[in-house]
Structure 1
């Protein structure tokens, strides 16, 4: 069964890398006049803001349950993650598309293009370090799953968002570097504009994929399929349970809610004895699956 990646550590890695890259890109964009570089600077600044929102979401999701929110605030991280996806789409993607379209109608050449090449190379290295740190945590979470399957089935919204951001940032830097180099070789600023448009399209596509995944969590998803089946198998092999009729799981941020409808192995027990067995099953379930915070057990029969 897959584990859980350390999302907070991954976010801080990405925040440090993106802030350093933003400063370098902003200076280079001002000196060179490259629209691809400007788009990348805005992208990095947006990513810094996004990581701040994710950290805020993680903090708010840890608040204890209240009368208005009896199952806690764990799902709040999904709201902030969805907001990040929208920012990635609008501030990053749409701005880049606008800047690229504007550049297509401008013949202004690049100034000091070697500065842009140096900054973009630095950015690729810094972003690769951040991506490597992200992949370390993703690999812990995904186990033997493919990256694509993990992305589709993961319930760690903040890790999904950081993975999408880092992936888009790394490829965006490569696009920008290729655009600047081609502009230098040919002297044609159209390549810089095309690179900017490519960055915009990349960010929009990644943002849409991330938003779709986070939206599903926001609406209310069960736990990951592999975990759900492990919980089912655990309950079915318990000596107290004869038949498992229904199993409902709900991912609440980092916490899990489980509702069980089952036939007890010995229907002739007293009410007190049945309750004791149910409590024992719930305690064993929480011990085996520490993320299970709420468990509601309903005894039933086959009639």
Structure 2
């Protein structure tokens, strides 16, 4: 089994990088009058708020079960991840497009453009480090999967969001860098406004992709196919189990609910059957620490 990715570490890494970048880009936007820089500053502050929401979501997801929520609050992280995707779409993407369209009709030359270029270069380096840290944590979880396969199958919504934010931020910075250079080389400030629109489109696309994946988790999704296959193989290897008829799983944040229907090996008594099931459940929990709830149904047929 792969190592467990540290979601909180990735979030804190991104939060620190984005706050430093936001401050630098705010100063650059005020100093240069760049709309691309202003769009990027707003995006970075929105990212800081997004990461604060993810931290809150992780904390809430660890709350103890209650009578009203007997399976706990693990799915709370999916709700906050979806809110973050909406914020990335609206505060990031739509605002950037609006700012760019506004500037197309009221173009202004970029003041001190080389200052903006320098700040963007710093931001690209900082955001690259944040993305590197996020990818390092994702690698622990994805194993031999490609990054795209992991994105489509991962059940860690907070990591999906951080990855999407980091990729969108880095792509936006590269676009802002390129379009400001075009404005300098051509002397046409229109390119700066076009850059803001391009950044907004990128953010909207990333937000939609992340939102679709998180929505599936929010509605209710099983554990990953690889995890289910591992659990089935483990059960079938137990001497107490003759045949596994069915496995039903539900991903609840960082925890899994598992329902098993299986044919048990013959036991001398009802008590012995119960003890055999208890041994199987104990072995499952030891081998799969993220399995918190197990509902075991012994049967003769599916």
Shorter-normalised TM-score: what interval?
over 0.9
Q: Deviations over 1:231-252 (max 9, x none)?
A: 0111112111111111001111
1:2: Cα distance to partner? 3.2
User: 1:287: which partner in 2?
Assistant: 286
User: 1:141: which partner in 2?
Assistant: 141
1:269: Cα distance to partner? 3.1
User: 2:189: which partner in 1?
Assistant: 189
User: 1:95: which partner in 2?
Assistant: 95
1:302: Cα distance to partner? 2.5
CA contact (8 A) 2:153 2:224 kept: yes
Q: For 2:268 and 2:30, how far apart are their aligned partners in 1? A: 79
User: 1:104: which partner in 2?
Assistant: 104
Q: For 1:271 and 1:215, how far apart are their aligned partners in 2? A: 44
CA contact (8 A) 1:2 1:144 kept: no
Q: For 1:224 and 1:233, how far apart are their aligned partners in 2? A: 14
User: 1:216: which partner in 2?
Assistant: 216
> Please, which runs of 5 or more residues in structure 1 have no aligned partner?
none
User: 1:128: which partner in 2?
Assistant: 128
1:223: Cα distance to partner? 0.6
Question: What TM-score do you get using the length of structure 2 for normalisation?
Answer: 0.98
1:145: Cα distance to partner? 0.6
CA contact (8 A) 2:244 2:263 kept: yes
User: Equivalent residue of 1:260, what SS?
Assistant: strand
Q: For 1:296 and 1:228, how far apart are their aligned partners in 2? A: 15
Q: For 1:59 and 1:280, how far apart are their aligned partners in 2? A: 32
Q: For 1:298 and 1:279, how far apart are their aligned partners in 2? A: 12
User: 2:277: which partner in 1?
Assistant: 278
Q: Deviations over 1:19-46 (max 9, x none)?
A: 0100111111111111100000000000
Q: For 2:263 and 2:16, how far apart are their aligned partners in 1? A: 53
Aligned length: 302
CA contact (8 A) 2:257 2:291 kept: yes
> Please, which runs of 5 or more residues in structure 2 have no aligned partner?
none
User: 2:234: which partner in 1?
Assistant: 234
Q: For 1:102 and 1:226, how far apart are their aligned partners in 2? A: 49
User: Equivalent residue of 1:238, what SS?
Assistant: coil
Q: For 1:291 and 1:275, how far apart are their aligned partners in 2? A: 23
1:301: Cα distance to partner? 0.5
CA contact (8 A) 2:107 2:193 kept: no
After superposition, where does 1:238-253 map in structure 2 within 5 Å?
238-253=238-253
User: 1:66: which partner in 2?
Assistant: 66
1:106: Cα distance to partner? 1.7
* Aligned alpha-carbon RMSD (Å): 0.9
User: Equivalent residue of 2:67, what SS?
Assistant: coil
Q: Deviations over 1:82-114 (max 9, x none)?
A: 000000000000000101111111231111101
User: Equivalent residue of 1:26, what SS?
Assistant: helix
Runs of 4 or more, structure 1, over 2 Å off, are 1-4
Q: For 1:8 and 1:265, how far apart are their aligned partners in 2? A: 43
User: Equivalent residue of 1:262, what SS?
Assistant: strand
Q: For 1:278 and 1:88, how far apart are their aligned partners in 2? A: 47
CA contact (8 A) 1:3 1:142 kept: no
